[in-house]
Structure 1
Amino acid sequence: MTSGDIHKPLLDSLSTAIILVDRDLRLRHMNPSAEALLAISCERTLNEPFTQFFYESVETPKQLTLAAREANHYTKRHAEWQLLTGGQITVDYTVTPFGEDSGLVIEVQPIDRLLRISREEMLTSSQETTRNLVRGMAHEIKNPLGGIRGAAQLLARELPDSDLQEYTGVIIDEADRLRNLVDRMLGPNQLPQLQSLNIHEVLERVSTIIKAESSGTVAIQRDYDPSIPDLEADKEQLIQALLNIARNAMQAMMEHRTEHPHLRLKTRVQRRHTIGRRHHPLVCRVDIEDNGPGIPDDIIKNIFYPMISGRADGTGLGLTISQHLIHQHQGLIECHSEPGKTRFSLYLPMEPQHAEV
């Protein structure tokens, strides 16, 4: 594609991934942005069939060939590309006929980051909405509960038969139980007490508790990055947030009698990471991964809401509290699950911060 040589300096300067192919879909040029996106070298793959470097569907080569033969123009949104490296990217791409030999220009825009930001914003917003709802509901519930409890206490004093006090005792105990449930739904009501700490100290404490509670039946696999610097956080709150997740995983594996149950604890540093719309130069990522049964599809999108649980005897409050505690540290928890592999990823900013309510 000799005529394309004139445009190569311009194409190479673009941040958009640009790929040029001939009518047989053989690679003629790829700018540096496309090389970085697909993790391949243009020089080494020149004249190779472009469709061998990614997989979208069995129809994709047919659509590209038809576009080249009939000079068709089309755009695809939210396409999932499986790369040779084993990674997967979500892209928008546009196919445009180009040149006298019916070649194609393929413009590719990765949208994974935009989708993640949108998903995190929605999660943060929904958590805040849920918390405000719970606060309002707690006020409406606790006020009459206090009246019921007080009336039951007065009634118990006036009853002539002490045996009847058993019934007023039930009223008082149930009122207390409901009040405690509401308090648990609200989560901790104090701001984090920030101090410099090593995230691995927190993980080792969680590991010790899980090992004791499972009587050693759940193996702990560690994949730590020892170079991670200390971060400012509330140690007890982080232990609680991580323990809620790890304990859920342990209980799910034991209830389903998972063969060779294990928890994998992994730490890494991510640079220039965005949480919601807030950019952080350095973020600590903690992954808690198990080989249990996975989270049912019908509840996975709602697992951070109160009273949502995949276990018959679960309260559905542990993950809600964990998300709230991490949110107070300006962080976020994400979840990806399939049968045999569930991973919770916690993102904690590492720069000095102010605790959030």
Structure 2
Amino acid sequence: MTPAAPDLDQLTTPFAWTTADARIAGCNLAFARWLGVGARRLLGLPLTALASDGGLDAVLDRAAEPADAPLRLRRLGLRFSDGAERFCDAWLSRRDEGWLLEAHPVDEFPDDDPARLPSALSAALRGLAHELRNPLAGLKGAAQLLARRLDPHDADGHALTSLIDAETVRLTALLDRLLSPAPAQPHAPLNVHGVLERVLRLAESDAGWAVRLVRDYDPSLPDIDGDADRLTQATWNLVRNAIEAGASQVTLRTRAEHAARIGELVHPLALRLDISDDGRGVPAELADRLFLPLVSGRAEGTGLGLALAQQVVREHRGALSYRSRPGHTVFTLLLPLPEPVDA
């Protein structure tokens, strides 16, 4: 039997309980302290609003009917408003007509556990951010000076200087977020092919004619909700890795995937993006640690590109995986798509 609210208040384990429509009806002191917010500010808030990656929505939909056994949610990320994200292993069970959430905070992870990624990656990137700001400012200034010297009719030249200028602005904004963390930008509808075209422009400027870039798009795909800049960064990291692995051809393929499993959830419809190349492949000794920060197969590599790509994909409630052998490597992004509305 579920303990009454006064009993829960005496426990050091964080608990929150909801009404029948999954709005927070109360929480114990441990839960409020863990989230760093007064308990009264949580009252009436949808429980799903606390899940930083939207991970509770599908769970509540799937578990709409009462069940005898609680549902276990591994490494659930929760935050209040613009507060810091906290991770926990959680149990979600029925309480009266609503829900009871029991959170077991997870503060430390084994060195090889990808769940330690956000804190480790954030620390590593913040160290690099200070070193990158001045070179980026120099690049932006040089691009603007070059644009003024170009012939007004040189369309290709102006397109390239505009690309340099736009990318330095985007990267400077990324560094600003690393040095002075701010709330994540709200996701907005976007066409994934617009993101991919931006990435291919970067790849064409980086690799020139040395690499053949192939588009294999499904034009019928609907828009997704996301952050275009973050998805550009993640996808560009994957394409650039392929180029640096000696690929002579890189293919970007988009498709709709039905009944796609992302983590512990099965989504009716998802966007599948395959980035394939014919390069050297992933070294066998890195296979189990590839997405951890500071792990690289190249002496000059930072080991941050794939770690950042995985973090961005997680921000979009998706999954990133790969398969590789010499001459054929495929990185796959799965991102949930909205379910079609019946006419």
Specify which structure has the higher proportion of helix.
1
TM-score (norm. length: structure 2): 0.49
Which of the pair has more CA radius of gyration? 1
TM-score (norm. length: structure 1): 0.47
